[in-house]
Chain A
Amino acid sequence: MDKILRINMGASGGPSQAVEKAGEYTALGGRATTSMIVAKEVPPDCHPLGAENKLVIAPGMLSGTAAAMSGRISVGCKSPLTGGIKESNAGGQAAQVMARLGYAAIILEGKPATDDLYKIHIDKDKVTISVDNSLKLMDNYPLVEKLREEYGDKVAYMTIGSAGERKMAAASIACSDPELRPSRHCGRGGVGAVMGAKQVKAIIFDDNGCKNRQPKDPEKYKAANRAYVEGIRKHAVSGEGLPAYGTNILTNVLNEAGGYPTNNFKTGFFEGGTKISGEAQAELEIKRGGLATHGCHRGCVIQCSGIYNDKDGKFLTKQPEYETVWSHGGHCGIDDLDTIAMLDFLDDNIGVDTIEMGVAVGVAMDGGVIEFGDCEGAIRLVRDEVGKGTPLGRILGGGAELTGKAFAVERVPVVKGQALPAYDPRTVQGIGVTYATSTMGADHTAGYAVATNILKVGGDVDPLKPEGQVDLSRNLQIATTAIDATGMCLFIAFPILDQPETFDALLDLLGSFYGIEMTGDDVVALGKKVLTLEREFNKKAGFGAEDDRLPRFFKTEPLAPHNLTFAVKDEELDELYNWS
């Protein structure tokens, strides 16, 4: 990965391309690469859908190698949803193939002068950018089917559906999975709208004739990968819970804790929780001949995903994740797995973020558009309104905040314009700190459970002190940013958190690949550097301390059954970015 492909979609006479040396980005990946390029090259006050914004695509540090779990791809830009910097990542095959082609990043910039729609084919010899207006307003599944006729099955696709072309702020970018289904999405923040604004419908990565990237120290690398995989396999979460039930294993536990936001954050317990739990989902998938264990890309050893078939045993969608089951399920008062799976498919097909879409539908329910629990109504809103780009669909596709304004809803669960995911911050106050202060807007992955106790980010934390919540969140955000920078799947966090030898194996893996010594301190420094750049970008884009807040209703409306309000003080939140 020693080169960067820069495509200027707005060049006179049609899109131009240039290949540059990767330079300072050579030994970086994922969020580190996207955020550094965006921070350096994008004017923070530009319009997210204008020519000055850039869409940066970067594989992980170890993508395209034999390293396990290394196939996440990051997309960065200024977000049309939040107005701040954005990194959104997904699985699928694109990261592996792009990395084998040798690209550390692809930068899409400018904006075409005409309304032509483009596709970009990249193989080892050349980059072909061509107009293909026959793809206009196609959704992801039929789109990829059509592209497969031309480019075949030995490639990876990154595409946008109709929502991306319509530049909806909830639009996602789809990455094809090993079965070439466009089911893995860079979902958050409207990155699909930015691709739509560049008028790029599809990027086709073709690594025919390319080999896996080779490590500098093959022996050490092999041993490290073995230890790392062993560590993942032997851990109860990554080796058992996630493969068996996927992330939806969380539904029962969150519900039991009274932290499962129900009917647009009105209560913390959903009566129908057990009907849509990961346990129920896995049983149904197996019964219908689907799969409860499946990887989103080759080289994933955890395999938290699955295949969800309909009542007739035909593929309906990939296994909906916990956040999706929540957003379209409990958040909307819906306790029917088939409805949720259909909504997951529709989201993937149209190309919208499942969290943003589900939360927007729930807010619309609160605004009286349809009733809570209305399965058919929810499907109709997504399929017939968002999918067809009607005025109502454009409001919903604009995200939860816009939907709340349109229907005069007081309780709108967003931070920096981005919908809160599936954990009520009144019950788990620590996550509320992360939601409030993340550079990305409300994001459950921003402060993942990473090895703060091993990394000793910012020294030892006394979690029993009141300020412990902020300290913990800060450390989690730094460590998570670092993991995002490696481009590894975040679910490696558990074996790393609990097993110091697995964390060491990861460091050895990175170090032996690049021929450098990597320490925990290096990882922390990288995390801090990226977060600082992101924070600076947001400040210049107009964000201040007042944006690092949860919506007020979390402070004023007690959540049943524990009757809690969010109690972390504003001054404490303001301390989050105080680090040396």
Chain B
Amino acid sequence: MPTTADLSLQLTLKSRQISEFFPLLQRGIWLPATTGCSVIKLLSNQLGIAEDYVADRITTLFLDGKAIDDAAASFVKDGSTLALSSAMPGLVGSTMRRGGHLAAMRGEITYHQTKVLTVGAGKVKIKLFNMLMKEVGPLLLERGFIISGAELVTLLTEGEASFQDGCVSVSVNDRPYSCDELGGKLLTILSPQQTILLKIIWKD
């Protein structure tokens, strides 16, 4: 997935449409970002998530499949995947928790920083689970994320009726389209290989 996009699409949607993005948010969305920084810097300084929220609410984090105990000492590189979750039940849920008492039980998949990373423009894939989909999802989608034409077609066709219903306005490369064209004409101008910078603006 490149860091720049072939075209830019802006959708203004009613805020209840957020649930249409839940499957996508679980699979992960690519965000343009400055990489080579710590997870906490990425989340707070770049993505605008309050540090307190990160500390209290995002209690389970995985960086490239490894459980994170210290978000300030874990570093994202270009192409990293960062998965975020609130607290989990069960023994294993507890084990995965950041800095939890049982962290030793998953020592083999705990993230350890090995080398210093260079800072630069890149992209990270953010996955959101459970409560965080609703709480953090709108913010990330509003920042804009990169999606392939194929994925966008799937998103729009799967939730077509709902998108039509909750659509306020559409623009492609700053050119306005009608909401009726969301599932039809718009899809025909997308090719599966294209990359699109998709921004969602939320209207109550």
Our pick among A238, A304, A429, A447 for the contact of B91 (Cβ within 8 Å) is A447
B94 in complex: contacting residue of A254, A322, A449, A561, CB < 8 Å: A449
Inter-chain contact A562/B109, CB cutoff 8 Å: yes
Specify which of B19, B60, B87, B101 is in contact with A463 (CB 8 Å cutoff).
B101
Q: Is B195 an interface residue (CB 8 A)?
A: no
Q: From the candidates A249, A257, A279, A322, name the one contacting B109 in the complex (CB within 8 A).
A: A257
User: Quick check: B105 and A469 within 8 Å, CB to CB?
Assistant: yes
Chain A residue with the shortest CB-CB distance to B62: A256
- Which A residues are CB-close (under 8 A) to B133? 279
Residues in B neighbouring A567, C-beta threshold 8 A: 108
B11 at the interface (CB under 8 A from A): no
> 1/0 per position for B58-99, CB-CB distance to A under 8 A?
011010010100000000000000010111111111111000
Are the C-beta atoms of B105 and A431 separated by less than 8 Å? Answer: yes
Query: Are B106 and A562 in contact, with the CB atoms below 8 A?
Result: no
Q: Contact between B91 and A252 (Cβ–Cβ < 8 Å)?
A: no
A247 at the interface (CB under 8 A from B): yes
Query: Which residues on the B side are within 8 Å of A22 (C-beta)?
Result: none
B-side binding surface: helix, strand, loop or mixed? helix
Contact with A along B100-131 (1 / 0, CB 8 A): 01111111110000000000000000010111
Q: Are A253 and B109 neighbours in the complex by a CB distance under 8 Å?
A: no
Kindly identify which residue among B19, B26, B59, B104 contacts A277, using a CB–CB cutoff of 8 Å. Answer: B26
Evaluate contact between A472 and B104: CB separation under 8 angstroms: yes
Within 8 A of B (CB), among A433-482: 434, 444, 447-449, 452-453, 463-464, 468-469, 472-473, 476
A561 touches B92 (CB 8 A): no
Residue of B nearest to A564 (CB): B108
Determine whether B27 belongs to the interface, using a CB cutoff of 8 Å to chain A.
yes
How many positions in chain A have a CB within 8 Å of any CB in the partner chain?
55
B90 touches A448 (CB 8 A): yes
- B91 engages A431 (CB within 8 Å): yes
Asked if B89 contacts A494 (CB within 8 A), the reply is yes
Query: Would you call A66 an interface residue if the criterion is a C-beta within 8 Å of the partner chain's C-beta atoms?
Result: no
- Kindly report which residue of chain A lies nearest to residue B104, judged by CB atoms: A463
- Interface check A259, CB cutoff 8 A: yes
The answer on a CB contact under 8 Å between A562 and B95 is: no
B2 near A: Cβ within 8 Å?
no
A429 to B87, Cβ gap below 8 A?
Answer: no
Pairs A–B under 8 Å by Cβ, sample size 11: A240-B86, A241-B88, A241-B89, A256-B65, A279-B22, A304-B89, A449-B94, A463-B105, A494-B94, A562-B108, A562-B109
Known: A258-B109, A429-B105. 13 other contacts (CB 8 A): A237-B88, A240-B86, A252-B127, A256-B65, A257-B62, A275-B23, A279-B130, A280-B26, A423-B91, A449-B102, A472-B102, A472-B105, A564-B108
Seen from chain B, the residues whose Cβ lies within 8 Å of a Cβ on chain A are 19, 22-23, 26-27, 57, 59-60, 62, 65, 67, 83, 85-96, 101-109, 127, 129-131, 133
Question: Residues of A with Cβ closer than 8 Å to B?
Answer: 236-238, 240-242, 244-245, 247, 249-250, 252-254, 256-259, 274-275, 277-280, 283, 304, 322, 423, 426-431, 434, 444, 447-449, 452-453, 463-464, 468-469, 472-473, 476, 491, 494, 497, 561-562, 564, 567
